[in-house]
Amino acid sequence: MAVWDAQGVQLSWEMPPVVSVPHNYQNEILYYKIYRHTKETQIVFLAQTTQQTYLDRNVVVGITYYYTISAFHAGEVESLRAEEVSAP
């Protein structure tokens, strides 16, 4: 979820479900990577966090931002990126 507030865009998400994959690693999520883009820019890495929330303070009112996240597991195995959310 992406919501504007007085400080910027507040992002929050739920932990992804456990997925069985043909790798030998623990399912424990070590951290999340957050990516962002606008209609005029390409998707770029924005931040890394161990929390399930993030406040993007580097935004401009009137621009729509699109966000997606991925989870990193033990062994640096990255999940697929989550479905994009936007904050107008």
- The dotted CATH code for 2-87 is 2.60.40.10
Q: What's the chain look like in SS3? A: CEEEECCEEEEECCCCCCCCCCCCCCCCEEEEEEEEECCCCCCEEEEEECCCEEEECCCCCCCCEEEEEEEEECCCEECCCCCCEEEC
pLDDT category of residue 23 using cuts at 50, 70 and 90 = low
| Contact (Cβ atoms closer than 8 angstroms) between residue 9 and residue 3 | yes
| Contact (Cβ atoms closer than 8 angstroms) between residue 35 and residue 46 | yes
Q: Give tens-digit pLDDT for 55-76.
A: 999 999 999 999 999 988 877 7
